[in-house]
Each structure stands twice: as structure tokens, then as C-alpha cells.
Amino acid sequence: MKSILTSALLASTAFSSVVPRAGQKVDYDGFKALRVTLPEGSENLKTQIEDLVAHVLNPGKKELDVVVAPKDIAALKALVIESKVINEDVGAALKEEGEFKAYAVPSESWFTAYHPYADHLQFLRDLQAGYTSNSAIFTLGNSVQGRTLTGIQIWGAGGRGSRPAVIIHGNVHAREWITSMTTEYFAWQLLTKYASDANVKAIVDKFDFYITPIVNPDGFVYTQTNDRLWRKNRQTVSGNTCVGRDINRNWPYKWEVTGGASTNPCSETYKGVAPGDAPENRALSAQVNTLRDSRGIRLYLDIHSYGQYILWPYGYNCNLRPENNAQHQTLAQRAQAAIRAVSGTAYTIGPSCSTLYATTGSSTDYTDVTGNATYSYTYELRDTGTYGFTLPANQIQPTVRETWAGVLSMFKDA
């Protein structure tokens, strides 16, 4: 782990092109993804494993999915009770993600390949340009490296800013590429179907949508230039060589609670030095606060991968439930059924801490309590670990379509 990250780190300071360059990126050929089972009470062991592996893919769980170099596999197996190979060759899986395609004006074909960051911005601008009377580009603030957090606002018959807000964030974790494609598909559907689909018209007339497909642009670019499996932002830590805060452990609500994030700057879930000390997080919480104080927030969606979950508060305490827990559950059950009806894809639903793992300083706890959102959900999209974050390009359309069915159901019910 250390040697890989150090070399990636050195390379990262030299350039910031969105086009991956040969020889600069971490090479995962021959690396395996393993699902390992740890003995009870194994916090020290977790740290040892973090030091040994290239990445922990699902930090927080008891069964860890990890990516490990061939030379370290034996050492890893010696540490754990049980291990199962979930991907024989992570490098080969990366190649199945497909090549970037040249950018074309927005069309359904956008959703057949992954894209460089600059093209994502162009997609939003071009989409907005086709629907100037009921959409606008907005910005929330800047990332550590000065990239602008860019989104699209969509409204209906009531006019701009006249309805309760639906806030949607994508790609807060840099390696979760399917999530920006999916949130863009929501915007695409809302705008292109407004005139022709009565269901879509009804929901666009009911809400103001604020969709930001990539809220961690620095991390996203870094996954394209240096390390495909990078998760955090690209913020340095004083006195430490490790880089990055987990923006979804940095929200200023219950940030100080222990057990749901890491205080180690080298960890995948490093929470930062103080609540809200990641500039990306400040931009996001300011958006939540502003919309809370204007028309109010009806629904907040934070789109992640992977695991196939729909989760709601709380993350910081496994015994607490929101006041409207029953309604959260009803909406999630209907979304789960809508997804299954499209493709058969099975989602697990429930309150996040008790269903998946504890998280502190996370988005949905903040939007529920501080943002006073009526509904707050985290989606974890496809798959359940086979490809993990590097879902092949031929799964983009099936994923965005089934997820659209799920969120459309929520938009109707909310």
C-alpha cells in the first residue's frame, strides 16, 4: 500500500490532465479483490489490514472487501479467519470498464460509456442549453484544487425556486463512477420527458431539483489520472504525508462521535481535523442550509456505490430512528420494488447504521436533523462486489434505468 500511494502521490503533483497518461497510473494487473472475514473485536487487525492492502473497498463493514497485490495475498490470508476471491484480476476488470468515448451533444448514447471530468461539465451545459426555460446551471463553491462544484437546477410550472427542494449529490466518493452517470440520467429524464410524460411533468411541477453529479471533482479527476480506486478528496493534512478527507465523514453533525469514521489521515474514512473542514463539505452544507431556509427540503438523495442498498438515518447511532421512520421505510420499499420490477436487481433497505455500518459526520444524518429534510436517503448502486466500483460500461444503462425507476417512485411518494 505505502509504496503504491507514495509513487502515485509524487506523480499527482506533476500534472492535472483529465486524460490518463501511460506510466503514471497505479497498475492493478494481477491484484485480487478479496472478501475477508475478521474475528470479533479486531480493531487492531483492521489497521494491520489497511496497512497491507492497496485499498479497503467498503470501510466500516465486518466483512471487508479489499484489493491486494499478489505479493501480499499470503500475508493477508494469514491475518483473517476466512477469505474469498471476489475478483481474480482487478486490472482486467478495469479494462472491462471500457474506453472513454468522444463527447457528442447530449443523447442516450452518453450513458453507454464513462467520461472525463471536462465532458461531464459539457454534458450539463449542453443539456441545460436545450431547456433554458426550466433549468439553470448553478455552482456551490470550490474544491481544494479550485474546481467548481457544478450542478443543474430543474423546475416546472411554478417557476424557478417556487417549490420544495429535492437535492441530489453524486460521486462524493471519487471511485464511484456509476453515480455521476446515474444522477445525470435523472436530470436527463426530468428534462427530456417533461413535455411528453405526464408522470414526469407532475413531479417536475411539484419540486425544484438541484442535481450535482460530481461533488468531489478533485478526487474524481485523480481516479482518472493516478489511481482508479481513490475515494477521498485531495486535501493535505498538516504534518502527515497521507492525503484526503472523506467528505462523507466530514459533515458538521455528530462528527465528534467515535466509531463511524477514522482519525487516521491515511485511512479511507479519515474524518478531517474539524467538522466541515473540507471545502467541498462546506459548499454542500451551505446548499442544504440555504434551501432549508427558503422553500424547505422534501427529499435528499446521496448516490453512492456499491452494495445495492437504500439507507436512511441514522448512521451515528444504531438504535435511533427518525420521527418518520415508517414513512422512510414505505418509500424505500416502493423504490426497492420499482427497481426489482425493471431488472430483478435486489436491493436491501433499512436505517443505515443497523443495516450497513456506523457512519459519523455523514450526509443523511445532517440533512435529516440540521437540514430538516422530510426524507433523506443514501443509495448504494450496483453491484454487490464482483466488479465493485469498476462496473463495466455495458452495465451503465441497465443501472441508470433501474435506479431511475426507484427514484421516480420516491419523487411521486415524497
Shortest CB 309 distance to Zn ion, Å: 11
Residue 32 or 304: the one with the smaller Cβ distance to Zn ion is 304
Annotation says 380 is catalytic:
yes
Residue 8 or 57: the one with the smaller Cβ distance to Zn ion is 57
Closest to 144 (Cα-Cα) out of 344, 278, 345, 319: 278
Residue 59 or 275: the one with the smaller Cβ distance to Zn ion is 59
Shortest CB 236 distance to Zn ion, Å: 22
Residue 115 or 304: the one with the smaller Cβ distance to Zn ion is 304
The distance from CA 115 to its chain's CA centroid, rounded to whole angstroms, is 16
Residues 6+ apart with CB under 8 A from 200: 189, 190, 193, 194, 408
**What is the distance between the alpha carbons of residues 400 and 389, in angstroms, rounded to a whole number?**
15
Residues 6+ apart with CB under 8 A from 83: 34, 35, 36, 37, 76, 77
Residue 120 or 304: the one with the smaller Cβ distance to Zn ion is 304
Exposure pattern of 24-38 as b/e (b: 16+ CB <10 Å)? bbbebeebbbbbbeb
The distance from CA 248 to its chain's CA centroid, rounded to whole angstroms, is 9
Name the 3-class secondary structure at 53.
coil
The pairing of beta strand 32-37 with beta strand 348-351: unpaired
Our separate counts of H helices and E strands in the chain read 13, 14
Cell 489520472 belongs to: 225
Shortest CB 246 distance to Zn ion, Å: 9
Shortest CB 82 distance to Zn ion, Å: 25
Name the 3-class secondary structure at 64.
strand
Q: What residues line the site for Zn ion (CB under 5 A)?
A: 173, 304
Residue 208 or 227: the one with the smaller Cβ distance to Zn ion is 227
Cα separations in angstroms, 122 against 42, 97, 186, 292, 300:
46, 21, 16, 29, 25
Shortest CB 172 distance to Zn ion, Å: 6
- Look up residue 115 and give its three cell numbers: 467520461
Residue 76 or 178: the one with the smaller Cβ distance to Zn ion is 178
Q: What angle is formed at CA 178 by the lines to CA 339 and CA 367, rounded to 5 degrees?
A: 75
Shortest CB 173 distance to Zn ion, Å: 3
Amino acid at 88: E
Name the 3-class secondary structure at 152.
strand
Residue 156 or 313: the one with the smaller Cβ distance to Zn ion is 313
Closest to 315 (Cα-Cα) out of 355, 281, 267: 355
Catalytic residue of the set 176, 268, 380, 402: 380
**In sequence order, what are the beta bridge partners of 296?**
none
The pairing of beta strand 135-142 with beta strand 63-68: unpaired
- Look up residue 175 and give its three cell numbers: 471511485
Shortest CB 389 distance to Zn ion, Å: 9
H or E element in which residue 298 lies: strand 297-305
Shortest CB 360 distance to Zn ion, Å: 15
Question: Which residues participate in catalysis according to the annotation?
Answer: 380
